[in-house]
Amino acid sequence: MTPLPSPSISPASTPSRSSNNGLAWLVLWCTLLGVVAYHMVWQTHKVAAFSSNAFDLAEWVSLHPTVRAESPALFTPMLLRLPLILLAGIMALGSSVLQTEKAKWIWRGVALLVVLRLNAPTDFYPWGGGSPNDQQLGRLTAFGLAAVFVIILGGRWLRFFWKPATLILLLASLITALEGYHRAQKVLHSIQIETKLGGGLVLYVGFLIIPMLFILLMSGLMKQKERASFPDALS
């Protein structure tokens, strides 16, 4: 009796999935720490009321007439608020790579909670009223929730290129935050409020740079392994 052939298992598939899973956990935890750092002190001042995190800083500068006259409207506060949506997108994207369903849905829930941090005051509901500041918060919340849901629904396909997509979102999170902070400082200096850099922003940058470096490092190592395992056609 001829023995049945044993099922072939790709030697690269299991290690690849395992490494992606481990890298995804690193990205997710660093992103969550980035959210924590977002709510830590980004600027310090001898008057405690002017020492604020990114969320409060966006609220502060939104009151200035120059910022209200920006085009697009309230552009500086928007730059300071967009990182929350981008970080939530990173969480939703990274969750698609995890191997257990329970972990996937936990992180997807965390991503939705991060977006809901931007939820507008009750004046915005139900017809989008309230101040321009309330309207921006409401629209960003709606956009963020829609983006997270799209990523969740498309996770089966997005996970195949989650590394470059995550790199783009991480870079965008850094650029928007730093540009928003820079513009906010110019506004505060124009009204003679001199502040210093807070530790929250430093930690925020650090927590986002770490996963960027690991993604680049792991991608480079995987390419080297693929080249080493690929047979030399000329030999």
* Dist CA 178 CA 173 (whole Å): 9
Residue at 27 is within a domain: no
* DSSP code, position 230: S
Residue at 147 is within a domain: yes
Number of domains in the chain: 1
Band (pLDDT 50/70/90 cuts) for residue 7 is very low
pLDDT number for residue 16: 59
pLDDT number for residue 8: 46
Domain extent, residue 138, equals: 32-216
Cis peptide before 7 (omega within 30 of 0): no
Residue at 41 is within a domain: yes
Helix, strand, coil in percent for the chain, rounding step 5: 70, 0, 25
Residue at 120 is within a domain: yes
> Residue 91 above 50 pLDDT?
yes
* DSSP code, position 51: -
15-53 confidence digits (pLDDT tens): 556 778 889 999 999 999 999 999 999 999 888 777 899
Q: Are 27 and 211 spatial neighbours (Cβ–Cβ below 8 Å)? A: yes
- Mean pLDDT calculated for residue range 87-94: 96
pLDDT number for residue 192: 86
Residue at 8 is within a domain: no
Residue at 16 is within a domain: no
Residue at 59 is within a domain: yes
> Residue 4 above 60 pLDDT?
no
pLDDT number for residue 9: 44
Residue at 222 is within a domain: no
Mean pLDDT score of the chain: 86
188-229 confidence digits (pLDDT tens): 888 888 889 999 999 999 999 999 999 999 877 666 666 666
pLDDT number for residue 17: 65
Residue 175, phi then psi, degrees to nearest 5:
-65, -50
Residue with tokens 């005051």: 121
* Dist CA 112 CA 92 (whole Å): 9
- Mean pLDDT calculated for residue range 164-174: 96
- Mean pLDDT calculated for residue range 80-98: 95
